[in-house]
């Protein structure tokens, strides 16, 4: 049932090109320059009248929410707040009738996310679900929703759910941007065309697998890892660190690259591998200077870079390339090497990749 792969996690990492195209199939009509999503189309006024969107989720789904915050604000110019469901529900949050709440959950069964949804509904908000499991509790309790169509995710560490959540949320942001007229027809079309190419580009990113295995063997015995990224790729840094913690039990932290100088830089020495997402679009020069700062403290640098990169390659111990795309879509590509890196490290350390200790696939306790 693992389709020839050693683990479900690896199978699911490799399923991402298909999972992403399954997610946009039938919804994104490139030649007609259209996005059609029943859950959005039927409730378009609610979205357009919303003063803000509040995203609630946990874990990896919360990271997808953070990526979506950058995408919604950049593409659709709608203010977004992203909340841990568990914090939101216990905080006496301010929720208004004209708020739209988006709940993201792979399993659709996460107790804290469900409680946040109920609280939002009690306060009159419109609640939209982004779930993977069809017919799950959250998909039933929300007013409307869009499935990710990633197919069953068995590995406890979430992989294809994350990239398909980002895909759905990107489609929603584009749909709203078009309706609001904040993107021209040609800008909108450019986004659709780029999104359509993402599955092929994910395949290309997966071709670095063997090289990533080499990188993994080099750093598998490290006690700590740091992950840095900026903008759209800051949440990807968080997600990379979470993946490593979950399945290899190595302590890892994700940070916005520019925050390094406000504290974490004190951790850097020759024993500290730092994974830096340094794609060409998105404050590249600033990230290159962060890399200089790490290097001058003898930190080890693994750069996630755009194909053909020169500047990071000159300075890093290893680089892993991903194809070029629009900046807002880079998380769909930069995530791939981070998934593979944590996978290979966990395998080399002989950990139970698909069922890490202390973790369950759906967290139905509060
Ligand atoms: C990480 C992971 C967890 C889940 C979190 C939310 O790999 O699997 O952090 O993302 O428990 O789960 P869902 O998305 O099912 O609500």
Residue of 204, 281, 351, 361 marked catalytic: 361
Which pLDDT score is estimated for 366? Answer: 82
Judged against a pLDDT cut of 80, whether residue 348 lies above it is answered with: yes
Three-class DSSP category at 117: helix
| Ligand 1 centroid from CA 156, angstroms | 8
| Ligand 1 centroid from CA 361, angstroms | 7
Q: Whose CA is nearest to atom 4 of ligand 1?
A: 59
Q: Whose CA is nearest to atom 16 of ligand 1?
A: 105
Q: Which atom of ligand 1 is nearest to the CA of 159?
A: 7
Kindly give, in sequence order, each residue whose CB lies less than 8 Å from that of residue 314, ignoring residues fewer than 6 positions away: none
CB of 110 shorter than 6 A to ligand 1: yes
Kindly give, in sequence order, each residue whose CB lies less than 8 Å from that of residue 247, ignoring residues fewer than 6 positions away: 9, 156, 157, 342, 343, 346, 351, 353, 356
Q: Which atom of ligand 1 is nearest to the CA of 107?
A: 15
Which pLDDT score is estimated for 291? Answer: 96
Pocket test for ligand 1, best of 158, 338, 353 (most atoms within 8 A of CB): 158
| Ligand 1 centroid from CA 177, angstroms | 28
Pocket test for ligand 1, best of 8, 56, 58, 246 (most atoms within 8 A of CB): 58
- ipTM higher than the 0.85 cut: yes
CB of 113 shorter than 6 A to ligand 1: yes
Model pLDDT for residues 237-267, shown as the tens digit of each residue: 999 999 999 999 999 999 999 999 999 999 9
| Ligand 1 centroid from CA 135, angstroms | 18
| Ligand 1 centroid from CA 110, angstroms | 8
Which pLDDT score is estimated for 282? Answer: 76
* Contact between residue 151 and residue 125 where contact means Cβ atoms under 8 Å apart: no
| Ligand 1 centroid from CA 130, angstroms | 13
CB of 61 shorter than 6 A to ligand 1: yes
Model pLDDT for residues 42-62, shown as the tens digit of each residue: 999 999 999 999 999 999 999
- Active-site residue, 361 included: yes
Determine the Cα–Cα distance for residues 71 and 82; give it in Å rounded to an integer.
12
Give the predicted TM-score (pTM) of the model: 0.97
Model pLDDT for residues 295-340, shown as the tens digit of each residue: 999 999 999 999 999 999 999 999 999 999 999 999 999 999 999 9
Pocket test for ligand 1, best of 13, 61, 130 (most atoms within 8 A of CB): 61
Kindly give, in sequence order, each residue whose CB lies less than 8 Å from that of residue 227, ignoring residues fewer than 6 positions away: 237, 238, 240, 241, 244, 252, 253, 254, 255, 274, 275, 276, 277, 338
b/e sequence 201-222, b meaning 16+ C-beta within 10 Å: bbebbbebbeebbebbeebbeb
- Averaged confidence pLDDT in the chain: 96
- Sorting pLDDT into bands at 50, 70 and 90, what band is 277? very high
């Amino acid at each position: 049932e693992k389709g020839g792969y050693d683990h479900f996690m690896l199978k699911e990492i490799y399923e991402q090109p298909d999972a992403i195209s399954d997610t946009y199939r039938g919804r994104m009509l490139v030649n007609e320059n259209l996005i059609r999503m029943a859950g959005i189309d039927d409730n378009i006024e609610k979205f357009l009248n919303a003063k803000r969107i509040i995203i609630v989720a946990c874990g990896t789904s919360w990271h997808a929410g953070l990526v979506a915050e950058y995408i919604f604000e950049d593409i659709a110019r709608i203010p977004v707040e992203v909340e841990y469901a568990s914090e939101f529900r216990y905080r006496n949050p301010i929720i208004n009738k004209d708020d739209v709440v988006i709940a993201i959950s792979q399993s659709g069964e996460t107790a804290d996310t469900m409680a946040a949804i109920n609280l939002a509904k009690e306060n009159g908000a419109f609640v939209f679900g982004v779930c993977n499991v069809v017919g799950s509790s959250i998909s039933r309790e929300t007013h409307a929703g869009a499935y990710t169509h990633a197919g069953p995710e068995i590995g406890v560490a979430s992989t294809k759910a994350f990239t398909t959540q980002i895909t759905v949320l990107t489609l929603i942001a584009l749909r709203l941007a078009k309706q609001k007229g904040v993107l021209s027809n040609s800008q909108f079309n450019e986004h659709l065309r780029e999104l359509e190419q993402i599955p092929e580009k994910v395949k290309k990113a997966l071709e670095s697998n063997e090289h990533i295995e080499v990188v993994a063997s080099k750093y598998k015995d490290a006690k700590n890892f740091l992950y840095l990224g900026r903008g759209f790729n800051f949440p990807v840094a968080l997600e990379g660190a979470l993946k490593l913690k979950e399945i290899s039990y190595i302590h890892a932290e994700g940070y916005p690259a520019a925050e390094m100088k406000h504290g974490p830089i004190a951790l850097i020495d020759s024993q500290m591998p730092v994974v830096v997402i340094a794609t060409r679009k998105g404050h590249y020069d600033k990230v290159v200077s962060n890399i200089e700062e790490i290097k001058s403290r003898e930190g080890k640098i693994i750069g996630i870079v755009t194909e053909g990169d020169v500047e990071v390659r000159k300075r890093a111990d290893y680089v892993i390339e991903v194809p070029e795309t629009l900046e807002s879509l880079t998380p769909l590509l930069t995530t791939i090497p981070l998934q593979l890196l944590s996978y290979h490290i966990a395998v080399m350390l002989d950990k139970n990749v698909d069922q890490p200790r202390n973790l369950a696939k759906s967290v139905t306790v509060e």
